Amino acid sequence: MTNFTDNFTLRAHNTFGLEATARHWAEFRTVDELRTVIRDCHTRHLPWYVLSGGSNVILTGNFPGCVIHPTSDGITQLGPDLLRAEAGVVWDDLVAWTVDRGLGGLENLSFIPGLVGAAPVQNIGAYGAEAKDTIETVEYFDTERLETVRIPGAECAFGYRDSLFKGPLRGRAIVTAVEFRLTPEQTADGETSYTYNIGYGDLHDRVMSLGGPSLANVRAAVIAIRREKLPDPAVAGNAGSFFKNPVIPAAQAAQLRERYPEMPGYPSADGQTVKVPAAWLIDRAGWKGFRCGTVGVHPRQALVLINLGGATAQEILNLARRIIDDVDQKFGIRLSMEVNIL
């Protein structure tokens, strides 16, 4: 029988700092512990939800079932370029671990909040890199079969902030570990052979100002940029990037550039679509720095909605919908939210 904690406050477990309570709270470190939790949920007919780092979720009210939290935090190097990280590992601790050991592939994803278990679910990404680029295998617990399943990264249906775990396996799979295939920064004879991914935004200039490309410098540059642009949740509650960058047909992007020649965009490999920064659209529509009561848009990063103190989930969502409608009216582009709503 699981040792549930009843009437558990979730305020400290979501970076928006929203007030909410779980009827039950349960942590797991091993698959056997998780199996017991799920069996108890089945027996008691309790809905369950896995809350990882709480950095990409809006809690709209008290949860009537069991909120499950991973605490497993082991990192194991399985080979020269292969490692396994358990679901409860803090994501940025993993990135630091790989950079310290000269393993490339995750450095552009530095300083992203959350735990490893959420990385394949959301296919987290930043500065031209995504988790899918290095994920070799995802291990998850099937809550219907009550057993562990291993699935190759190539079969996870990864997309832009999307995966199999947000589609067919949503509500069934709980990620317990992820294996990453990385690239050594240097060869056995000490030569640097790694290709650094620093062409996105102002990352190149920042890396060069630190002395040139290296895993350590890329990580330092990404951390510095994120610290400058993103608010500390301890100061202003937020969930990081609230909106996805929209992908639109290339023809539509060309038409918009006739009106807004300064509009940035990133064409797809086949040239058929263009990813437009949502931050630019929101800023150009006049929302950057907007404040209304307890909610607002961050003055340095228009993608970030902030809790100015005492905000409710509904107030945050109302602001988000106002922004979505306004951007749609002005640019003909319908933004979608990146955060999960519980």
List 72, 130, 161, 214, catalytic entry = 161
Is 336 among the catalytic positions? no
Is 338 among the catalytic positions? yes
State the amino acid at position 335 in one-letter form: L
Q: How far apart are CA 227 and CA 316, in angstroms?
A: 23
**Three-class DSSP labels, the chain:** CCCCEEEEECHHHCCCCCCCEEEEEEEECCHHHHHHHHHHHHHHCCCEEECCCCCCEECCCCEEEEEEEECCCCEEEEECCEEEEECCCEHHHHHHHHHHCCEECCHHHCCCCCEHHHHHHHCCEECCEEHHHCEEEEEEEECCCCEEEEEEHHHCCCECCECHHHCCCCCCEEEEEEEEECEECECCCCCECCCCCCCCCCHHHHHHHCCCCCHHHHHHHHHHHHHHHCCCCCCCEECCCCECCCEEEHHHHHHHHHHCCCCCCEECCCCCEEECCHHHHHHHCCCCCCEECCEEECCCCCCCEEECCCCCHHHHHHHHHHHHHHHHHHHCCCCCECCEEC
Closest CA to 181 of 96, 107, 82: 82
Dihedral sign of CA atoms 68, 74, 78, 81 in order:
positive
List 139, 179, 185, 338, catalytic entry = 338
The set of catalytic residues is 161, 241, 338
